[in-house]
Amino acid sequence: MQPGLAGVRRAGPDRSTETEERLLSKVALARISAVGTGVPPKLLTNKDLEKLVDTTDEWILERTGIRQRHVVEKGVASSDLAAEAARKILAQTGLKPTDIELIIVATITPDMQLPATACLVQHKIGATGAWGFDLSIACSGFLYALQVAVQFVVNGTHKNVLVIGVDVMTSIIDYTDRQTCIIFGDGAGAALVQPSASVEEGCFIDFLHEVDGSGGDFLCLPGGGSKNPTSHETVDKKLHYVHQDGKVVFKFAAVKMAEICVRLLERHGLTGKDIDVFIPHQANLRIINAAVERLQVPADRVIINIDTYGNTTAATLPLAMQTALDQGRLKKGDLVLLASMGAGFSAGACLMRWGF
Ligand code: UT7
């Protein structure tokens, strides 16, 4: 039996064996070749939140693992943070803005309902000739957008695709709701997806995603859409803010994030112990710990930065990639597992060989 893209011999044939053989036979591989972030400098600490709602630093730290979040100044929008992340990628890679062909922005906090934030980012970075669109699936947005980008690269039509996860959560949070406001922060992260010449150069191996709309009511922003168009009444009822049943979301997340990872790994005959770097969505440290325990990934291979950033929704995964790089814990060729979960409900996982 040949080793697959994961570089690990598998016990027997499965669906992904076919996928891998198809990919290998076409040598149509895609990889992440650069990462950049856009993080506002202003901090909102647990102590600051003590002044806004009935909470304590100790409670927040113990129940979520969060110490502080970065938050925007008034007037700073998602496209500003996203453009900053994109510019860092251009600076690192030497690409010209006009080399970018496609920009996918995963966000639930677009600057405006229309135009798409991708258009605003395209204009801000000067990516003349690029096309783009927004993708809205909350915390799973970056991972789902990555898979979309990969399709364009492996089918040979695009060579430089920017995938950006950005959210200015402070724009949709009720700072009188102590259960919700303590969790979220603002930030952006971007990844450049390019063709890869070989497995050694890094490549995406497989994705697995799932949505379950029966969980829709438990984490939602009910106002301002076609169901409850904005009115004085929707504003009075605070329907323009995120509403969540934290306990229900927690239960879903604590089980689902691990489960989807296990299913993806099993498709490749792998376990958590085979993973070099695990980058989970940063929603709550206890959710991450539940996934780590189930997956049995050694603790020193798990990337955690929720203490610094809180939950930045679509930005958590690229921000955590940057943390891993900054800490020297992510190297070319590493077998990386990404995991997401969030509103929808939605969940996702991605297996890749790191590409730079
Ligand atoms: O990306 C997805 C985004 N959302 C999530 O991931 C949310 C997932 N859920 C969670 O992270 C947790 O459920 C929360 C952090 C939201 C809440 O933590 P919890 O441990 O599930 O708390 P709880 O809802 O079980 O509440 C326990 C107690 C309650 O008081 P009583 O009824 O026992 O007297 C709450 O009122 O803690 C109280 N409480 C707080 N106390 C101090 C809730 N929020 C706070 C707070 N400070 N901020």
Indicate the number of domains in the chain: 2
Residue 66 near residue 190 (C-beta atoms within 8 A): no
Ligand 1 atom 35: the closest Cα is on which residue?
A: 179
180 Cβ contact partners less than 8 Å away, ≥ 6 residues apart: 173, 174, 241, 242, 243, 244, 246
Mean of the per-residue pLDDT values of the chain = 94
- Residue 131 is predicted with a pLDDT of 98
- Residue 322 is predicted with a pLDDT of 98
Residue 260 CA to ligand 1 centre (angstroms):
24
Ligand 1 pocket, residue 199 CB under 6 Å: no
Per the structure, the complete domain to which residue 240 belongs is given by 201-353
Supply the pTM of this predicted model. Answer: 0.94
Query: Does residue 200 have a pLDDT over 50?
Result: yes
Per the domain annotation, does 11 fall within a domain? no
Q: Are residues 259 and 308 in the same domain?
A: yes
Query: Does residue 24 have a pLDDT over 60?
Result: no
Ligand 1 pocket, residue 243 CB under 6 Å: no
- Minimum mean pLDDT range among 1-15, 199-213, 241-255: 1-15
Residue among 47, 179, 252 whose CB has most ligand 1 atoms within 8 A, to mutate: 179
- Residue 28 is predicted with a pLDDT of 85
Q: Are residues 102 and 192 in the same domain?
A: yes
Q: Are residues 285 and 162 in the same domain?
A: no
Known catalytic membership, residue 155: no
- Residue 34 is predicted with a pLDDT of 98
- Residue 2 is predicted with a pLDDT of 43
Considering 46, 70, 119, 139, which one is annotated as catalytic?
A: 139
Q: Are residues 318 and 345 in the same domain?
A: yes
Tens of pLDDT, residues 100-136: 999 999 999 999 999 999 999 999 999 999 999 999 9
Per the domain annotation, does 10 fall within a domain? no
Ligand 1 atom 16: the closest Cα is on which residue?
A: 246
Ligand 1 atom 39: the closest Cα is on which residue?
A: 179
| Tokens standing for residue 8 | 């690990």
* Alpha-carbon torsion angle 25, 32, 342, 169, nearest 10: -160
Known catalytic membership, residue 311: yes
Residue 283 CA to ligand 1 centre (angstroms):
12
Tens of pLDDT, residues 221-236: 999 999 999 999 999 9
Ligand 1 pocket, residue 251 CB under 6 Å: no
Q: Which of 196, 214, 239 is the last residue of a domain?
A: 196
Per the domain annotation, does 94 fall within a domain? yes
Q: Which of 175, 196, 217 is the last residue of a domain?
A: 196
- Residue 11 is predicted with a pLDDT of 40
Q: Are residues 323 and 230 in the same domain?
A: yes
Residue 44 banded pLDDT, cuts 50, 70, 90: very high
* Percent of the chain at pLDDT exceeding 90: 92
Ligand 1 atom 47: the closest Cα is on which residue?
A: 55
Considering 70, 181, 281, 350, which one is annotated as catalytic?
A: 281
Q: Are residues 184 and 299 in the same domain?
A: no
Q: Are residues 221 and 325 in the same domain?
A: yes
Q: Are residues 228 and 173 in the same domain?
A: no
Q: Are residues 77 and 225 in the same domain?
A: no
Residue 298 CA to ligand 1 centre (angstroms):
28
Taking phi first (over 0 means left), then psi (-120 to 50 degrees means alpha), and beta for anything else, what does residue 34 get? beta
Ligand 1 pocket, residue 178 CB under 6 Å: yes
Q: Are residues 187 and 205 in the same domain?
A: no
Q: Is 53 exposed, middle or buried (0-12, 13-18, 19+ CB in 10 A)?
A: middle
Known catalytic membership, residue 281: yes
Residue 66 CA to ligand 1 centre (angstroms):
13
Q: Are residues 253 and 153 in the same domain?
A: no
Tens of pLDDT, residues 302-330: 999 999 999 999 999 999 999 999 999 99
Query: Does residue 173 have a pLDDT over 90?
Result: yes
| Tokens standing for residue 241 | 């803010």
Taking the C-alpha atoms of residue 46 and residue 32, their distance in angstroms, rounded to an integer, is: 34
Letter for the amino acid at 184?
Answer: F
Ligand 1 pocket, residue 59 CB under 6 Å: yes
CATH number of the domain at 134, please: 3.40.47.10
Q: Are residues 105 and 180 in the same domain?
A: yes
58-69 average pLDDT score: 98
36 forms beta bridges with 190
Tens of pLDDT, residues 134-153: 999 999 999 999 999 999 99
